[in-house]
């Protein structure tokens, strides 16, 4: 329970930092502000997305699942939740073109980040194994 609470606070923290950057960036790019209602809707959405994003990482703690199953489920939950909130908040138009573009960009970014994380952990594991070999 303590872990879920910590993850929730972490997700909310990251989410609200992202929201502040996004809102400021919107103001700089568009030169306009958003309404209080839209800001509240964005805050709710970003907060919930932040919590979802950290909670779905618990999928990787299910050790009897294959990495493919874990990653596939993580990807689809991540994609569906992101797309749902993007459409609900009108961050992207509800048209096939923008939705397809969103999915393609999301998938490309997900693959790049996944490979970066996989490479990082592969190096860390190699270093750990080398340090264990030195102790023998």
Long-range contacts of 72-79 (CB under 8 A, 24+ apart): 75/107, 75/110, 77/52, 78/53, 78/110, 79/103, 79/106, 79/107, 79/110
pTM (predicted TM-score): 0.72
Given a cut of 70, is residue 71 above it in pLDDT? yes
pLDDT digits (tens, 9 = 90+) for 21-58: 766 666 666 666 677 787 778 778 888 888 888 888 88
pLDDT digits (tens, 9 = 90+) for 89-130: 888 899 999 999 999 999 999 999 989 988 998 999 999 999
pLDDT at 41: 83
Q: Is the Cβ–Cβ distance between 96 and 87 less than 8 Å? A: no
Q: Hunting for tokens 């709710």 — which residue is that?
A: 44
- The two tokens of residue 52 are 């979802």
């Amino acid at each position: 329970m303590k872990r879920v609470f910590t993850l929730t606070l972490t997700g909310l923290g990251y989410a609200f930092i992202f929201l502040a950057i996004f809102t400021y960036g919107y103001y700089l790019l568009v030169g306009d502000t958003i309404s209080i209602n839209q800001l509240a809707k964005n805050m709710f959405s970003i907060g919930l997305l932040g919590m979802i994003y950290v909670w779905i990482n618990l999928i990787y703690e299910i050790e009897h699942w294959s990495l493919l199953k874990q990653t596939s489920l993580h990807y689809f939950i991540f994609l569906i939740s992101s797309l749902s909130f993007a459409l609900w908040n009108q961050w992207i138009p509800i048209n096939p073109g923008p939705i397809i573009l969103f999915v393609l960009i999301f998938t490309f970014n997900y693959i790049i980040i996944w490979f970066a994380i996989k490479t990082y952990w592969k190096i860390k594991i190699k270093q750990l194994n080398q340090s264990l070999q030195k102790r023998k």
